[in-house]
Structure 1
Amino acid sequence: MTKKSQKVKAPSALLLMLEGRALYEMGAYIAAAPLYRHMAKGDGHPVLVLPGLAASDLSTVPMRRFLKKRGFTPYAWTQGRNLGLRDQVFEKMLAKVDEIFASHKRKLSIVGWSLGGIYARELAKLRPNKVRFVISLGSPHSGSPDASNATRFYELVSGHSAENPPLQTRLSQAPPVPTTSIYSKTDGIVAWQNCHQRKPANPKKAAQTENVRVEGSHCGLGVNPSVLYIIADRLAQSEGSWQPFTNKGARKIFFRTPGFDAVVAT
């Protein structure tokens, strides 16, 4: 069996246990505070931040505080806990995108953590003229839902099966706006391969879609200083002048930009 045909599996029990690293990443978030002022500065445009499965806006407070200090205008999702992909919540989020766009009279960016990244990508597909950038953090938008240690929990809290081939095909398609997929190969919740954007067939989409790999846990992505650095760098770009993230110089120590060469799930 070739590497590209190997079945993608859920992260190992060891990686799952190592999710406790998130506590240290929170400590790193606090310790790195003096360095944040040296990160990319925003232009004040709105950024909607979406939490992961079973999480609420409380989980994204550190990220939103960071964004505000870097000159962006962050918004919480205000939908309570994220209990899965739900039509009612999706409609409310579409209305929120419309509301933010109308209020600022400019496009907004959307940053989604885990399941929140799935929402972010789908919102951008339906509101491409109102969304500036999309960034997903450890979001399993490709491959089989079995390649996750949270599948059964997702089905429990959402009330429906994670297996939905037509939906999975749709989710794997990149949004028609500049999109960055951030993932970690040591993610203990979801298979990193499923968080890695496959190469879009549309050349225009491929030209504005990228993958960036960091070191860290799944549960700590939202407070990981390396992730915050990438988020600020991506969102600080002027509208209409998006360029791929580069890991030249010292960046090579912390980041990888592997293109579209992920192992394909079968």
Structure 2
Amino acid sequence: MAFHTGLDLLRLQGDVLWAGGEFAAKIISEPLLRMIVRKGDGKTPVMTLPGFTGPEFSLQPLNQFLRDTGYVAQSWGLGTNRGIRDMDHMEEIAAKLGDRLREIADQHGRPVALIGQSLGGVFARELARRFPKDVDRVITLGSPAHFGETDREVNALVARVMRFYTGRSVDDHLREVKNGKFNISEPPPGVPLVSIYSVYDGVAHPATTKIPERYLKAKDAPRENIEIVCSHCGMGVNPLVLIAIADRLAEKREDWVPFDPLNYAVGPVRVLSRWFYPSRLKTRAAPGVAVQA
């Protein structure tokens, strides 16, 4: 147990250091990114939801990038994400976020795109399940797309912090989710869902952050996994992730085509893209057909 905790401490430290490098890469590459990414229409609202223990300003770089590329991006308005104590607390958070979501949708006269990092992505999917008419699409960044049976699928240090914040262990939360009346592991019906994940994730196990194959076969809305070489903590600033986010925000719901990073690569960069997007999609999907990385 002590060995496992020590190993996870190193993984988490490495992930945070990697995220610092990704932020530096964003600053350096941002002028180029703004030139090459697909643009919004200046009217589409986007709401971002931070990860567990993440303060609201942790996604400010992402929000600013989205504003610069033609989106009306804003944070969730609930401050630091301190997790959930129990399902009753989940209901309380969902109600507050639902009010926020409807307010944004009414203000702009159109559904809102949701981008959630880690636990924020879990909240985003639940919002889409409850308020599908107000949600345009959901993009998750290193978010558990389904829940396993034990806490070994979560970094041990993060699990300790979760117990501190919520007073309950990861296993306690998993049991309540499993026995609860809401299946929060199942993707929201009728809403496009994109999961961006990394096999080098230092917080959440990669096996849980991909949308399971059984859910990718739905016909009611596109569902897509995009693998990118990146850290967990730096997904909101990694230039490669930002390209994918902008591309998926601009994709038409009724004529969904899988993300292809080669659209942004020329010359030798095309070879490098295969390293950074190991499972890039190679097939085009018919409207409404789910796709998989």
Distance 1:101 1:205 in 2: 25
Partner of 1:189: 203
Letter in 1 for 2:21: Y
CA RMSD, aligned part only? 2.4
Distance 1:68 1:214 in 2: 23
Q: 1:202 to 1:182 in 2, by over 3 A?
A: closer
Q: What displacement does 1:36 show?
A: 1.9
Partner of 2:79: 80
Q: 231-240 or 102-111: which moved more?
A: 231-240
The 5 Å alignment of 1:1-266 reads 12-13=7-8, 14-19=10-15, 20-37=17-34, 38-43=36-41, 44-85=43-84, 86=89, 87-142=91-146, 143-144=148-149, 145-149=151-155, 150-163=158-171, 164-165=174-175, 167-168=177-178, 170-176=183-189, 177-201=191-215, 203-204=217-218, 208-248=222-262, 250=270, 251-255=273-277, 256-257=279-280
Q: What displacement does 1:46 show?
A: 0.3
Question: Any unmatched runs of 5+ in structure 2?
Answer: 282-290
TM-score by length of 2: 0.79
Deviations 1:180-215 (A, max 9, x none): 101111111111111011024584358611111111
Distance 2:216 2:231 in 1: 32
Structure that is richer in helix per residue = 2
> Are 1:184 and 1:218, in contact at CA under 8 Å, matched by a contact in 2?
yes
Letter in 1 for 2:154: S
Distance 2:215 2:234 in 1: 32
Question: Any unmatched runs of 5+ in structure 1?
Answer: 1-8, 262-266
TM-score by length of 1: 0.86
Percent of aligned positions that are identical: 35
Distance 1:112 1:11 in 2: 28
Distance 2:82 2:109 in 1: 31
Q: 1:102 to 1:207 in 2, by over 3 A?
A: closer
Deviations 1:203-261 (A, max 9, x none): 43586111111111111111101111000000012343332223446243431247658
Q: 1:229 to 1:89 in 2, by over 3 A?
A: same
Distance 1:63 1:115 in 2: 17
Figure out how many residues of one structure are paired with residues of the other and give that number.
Answer: 253
| 2:203 aligned counterpart, secondary structure | coil
| 2:54 aligned counterpart, secondary structure | coil
